[in-house]
Chains A and B, each alone.
Chain A
Amino acid sequence: AQSVTQLDSQVPVFEEAPVELRCNYSSSVSVYLFWYVQYPNQGLQLLLKYLSGSTLVKGINGFEAEFNKSQTSFHLRKPSVHISDTAEYFCAVSDQTGANNLFFGTGTRLTVIP
């Protein structure tokens, strides 16, 4: 079974400042890793995903994440945030060998302050 831990439930940050949203996972098998974003009153959208290869993954809207196998982490970063980045961010994992079922963390609420 897999599990995902997002240690920060809320992250306030000033506009144009950098941000890092933390994600750690636990699994007995190899996993794929994802970050999804949920804007107010919208469905979840995929930001980026790690399947294999380069551990640094770039996604939409200037976000990137780095897979660290030894630390079982997949932290999300953006060098300069905008007001429009205010949203809920979810880290998720799925089993590489099983079905494409996603297991989500509890989410991190990013609030960008003008």
Chain B
Amino acid sequence: EAGVVQSPRYKIIEKKQPVAFWCNPISGHNTLYWYRQNLGQGPELLIRYENEEAVDDSQLPKDRFSAERLKGVDSTLKIQPAELGDSAVYLCASSLEGRGGKLFFGSGTQLSVL
């Protein structure tokens, strides 16, 4: 069974440029999460989808970040424009279970903003 697939694996951009990350969750997983992991920190939730609906985006900086999950399958996270402080690893995860369920994580996209 294929796991959560993220691309690209690495991305280097200059500040003020746009960037997009893509995630394909495990087939059949209705819940999709985007996390951000700063260096030396644990992952922090940005947004959670139930199918195509964003049910929790309270931690998403909406002035520059946007996300979509068309058709309730794969998802895209965008930053426009990127700032130096956005350098981090962006993780996607998916889950089939409800509360207390296991999350399956992708390998992440490491973003460096110069």
- In the assembled complex, the CB of B17 is this many whole angstroms from the nearest CB of chain A, namely 26
State in angstroms the CA–CA spacing of A49 and B55 once bound together.
24
Within 8 A of B (CB), among A25-68: 32, 36, 41-46, 49, 51
A46 closest partner in B (C-beta): B102
Query: Considering only CB atoms and an 8 Å cut-off, how many residues of chain A contact the other chain?
Result: 28
Which residues from A are CB-within-8-Å of B45? Answer: 101-103
Q: Evaluate contact between B56 and A99: CB separation under 8 angstroms.
A: yes
The CA-CA distance from A107 to B44 in the complex, in Å, is 12
A-B contact pairs, 15 of them (CB 8 A): A42-B107, A43-B4, A43-B93, A44-B103, A51-B100, A90-B42, A94-B100, A97-B99, A98-B99, A100-B97, A100-B100, A100-B101, A101-B33, A102-B43, A103-B45
Write the residues of chain A forming the contact surface with B, with a CB cutoff of 8 angstroms. 4, 9, 32, 36, 41-46, 49, 51, 90, 92, 94-107
